[in-house]
Amino acid sequence: MGPYLRLLGARVGPDVTIATSLIGLPALLRIDRDAAIGYGAVLRSWQVADGWVTVAPITIGERAFVGAGAVCEPGARLGPGSALGEQSVAGPDEAVPAGARRAGSPARPVTSLSPSVEAMLRTRGRRTTGGRGSWSPPGSHWCCWRPPHSS
């Protein structure tokens, strides 16, 4: 998904895992190094409400996590190492600070997410497979395996 989104104008860092295709206006999307976007997550940088169209960039920081089925609305920003839980909503112009956890709709601060997500966040960016594939904690469903690059 990363190369495809780059062709459409998104800024996608290396070693990013994107397991969704529900992305509107890729040119307004920035996903930094080692971030993970879960299955069915919606990254929508536009919305129509009360007769107004709102368009704003979405930023997912380094090693940040967007859970399966979560929604990021226009202007949402996840800081480095932060996480938005599964089926949670980061509303318009909402910022999740670096290292913070949010869950719910609307998203509220929580101390932690599921054990598998917390394990992933602790190890994201470290090579745990010995190659270039993505590591996935046992029983998790957020990550896709990428084949190693040929030399």
Q: What is the pLDDT of residues 35-78, one digit of tens each?
A: 999 999 999 999 998 999 999 999 999 999 999 999 999 999 99
Helices (H) and strands (E) in the chain, counts: 2, 17
Percent helix, percent strand, percent coil in the chain, to nearest 5: 10, 30, 60
Which contacts of 124-133 are long-range, i.e. CB under 8 A and separated by 24 or more positions? 124/34, 124/36, 124/63, 124/65, 125/15, 125/33, 125/34, 125/62, 125/63
Distances (CA, A) of 97 to 82, 84, 123: 7, 11, 19
Q: What is the mean pLDDT of residues 13-40?
A: 94
Interval 69-116: pLDDT, tens: 999 999 999 999 999 999 999 999 999 999 999 999 989 999 989 888
SS3 77: strand
**pLDDT for position 92:** 94
CB atoms within 10 A of CB 15: 16
| 15 has pLDDT over 70 | yes
**Cα-Cα-Cα-Cα dihedral sign, residues 70, 66, 30, 1:** negative
Provide DSSP, 95-142. EE-TT-EEETTTTEEES---HHHHHHHHHTTS--SSSSSPP--TT--S
Could you tell me the two tokens for 17? 């895992």
Burial environment of residue 108 by CB neighbours within 10 A (0 to 12, 13 to 18, 19 or more): exposed
Estimate to the nearest angstrom the gap between the alpha carbon of 139 and the chain centroid: 19
